[in-house]
Amino acid sequence: MESMSTTRHGAAILSSALIVPLVLHLLTLEEAPPSRRLILGVLSARDHFKEREAIRQTWGSALQRLSDVEMKFVLGDHDCPIHPADRTSAYGCEMWDLNQVLEYKFLRTRKNALTKWHQSSCPLVSAQFAIADKGSLMGHEEHRVRRAEEWRQHLANLQLKVEEEGRRHQDLLKLPHLDVYTNLPHKVMSFLSWTAYRQNGSYVMKVDDDTFVNVSLLNALAEVEEEEEHVWWSLFHHHRSVPTYGKWADLTYPSLTYPTFPAGAGYLMTRSLVRAVVDAQHHLAAHGGEDVSLGIWVSSSACQGIVSGGDLKADRGLKSLRSVL
């Protein structure tokens, strides 16, 4: 009897030792996400409070009334610590070095080849630049420390406002990226990854925070359409030239023209197409804007059913969002 009691007592201890950690583990597991017909992400800069509030008060309000639709504002989780006046570009986060005033231009000398400008590139053209007002330039440099401190305080206040907005509305998706324009392709890929493996939606849509969505037409579209393999909707651009300077300069894409890509204002994708892109992300690179990048990613990774001859066919896989945006 004593042996049996000891055995039972040991079994109870062993059972507790196994069950308690198991229960704690199960409690820490995330619940399966609810099934959604549509997950919509609004790409927004961290300081675009007015734009987000305008959406909440207009078409976002109508969208949120649909029970099987979820909307998130997609933000980076931190800002550029460099004051805008001290950056090399308004679109990135690189410190401007006073000793690097000149910008090298690139020339396309033959198909699929880029080369840095040099004297022999344009033998009939020469130019010489001089700084007209060195005093202003030196004054700008002298106030860099003061601007940096002001910007640090500004970012601290901005962080508090974003946190308060998130607590109040519960509709912010903050992704681990520096929130600057040149990082938009990375934000989009992270958003697509989040929808593919952290959510359960039949369709995924991305819009900008200056886009107005016709919710009734979008809702009708998602209800009528049957979920097909690898389909997306947008206002598409075909055979656009690759820019080599300006805001969307792309010096790495090897062709003279881009594959078909969607309008940045908005696009809608089936879950299967999103997963095809996300699963290939480690082999994909960012090019130019996020809309161009997505066109390249789709043509590179999700070729079955929508890609023919290296480009997207207008009658297979591509559908219009005209009147919805």
User: Per-residue b/e over 45-82, b at no fewer than 16 CB within 10 Å?
Assistant: bbebeebbeebbeebbeebeebeebbbbbbbbeebbeb
Contact present, 324 and 218 (Cβ < 8 Å): yes
Confidence at residue 300, expressed as pLDDT on a 0 to 100 scale: 85
Per-residue model confidence as pLDDT tens digits over 244-277: 877 888 888 888 999 999 988 889 988 989 999 9
What pLDDT, on a 0 to 100 scale, did the predictor assign at position 25? 37
Q: Kindly list the strands in the beta sheet with 318-320, ordered across the sheet, starting from the edge strand earlier in the chain.
A: 172-178, 69-78, 35-43, 200-208, 266-270, 232-234, 318-320
Q: Which tokens hold the place of 186?
A: 């990375």
Gyration radius (Cα) of the chain, Å = 26
For residues 162 and 48, what is the distance between their CA atoms, to the nearest angstrom? 10
CA distances from 67 to 35, 37, 194 (A): 10, 9, 20
pLDDT at position 64 is 87
- pLDDT of 136: 80
Q: Rounded distance, CA 218 to CA 228, Å?
A: 17
Contact predicate 299/287, CB 8 Å: no
Q: Which pLDDT does position 212 carry in this prediction?
A: 92
Pick the CATH number of 28-78+169-320 from 3.50.50.60, 2.30.30.180, 3.30.1330.60, 3.90.550.50: 3.90.550.50
pTM for this one?
A: 0.77
Contact (CB, 8 A) for 67 and 36: no
Sequence ranges of the domains in the chain: 28-78+169-320
pLDDT at 7: 38
Query: What pLDDT sits at residue 201?
Result: 85
pLDDT at 219: 82
Q: Quote the crossing angle between the two packed helices 144-169 and 134-142, to the nearest 10°.
A: 60
pLDDT for res 137 = 79
Q: Which residues of the chain have pLDDT under 70?
A: 1-32, 100-132, 222-228, 302-325
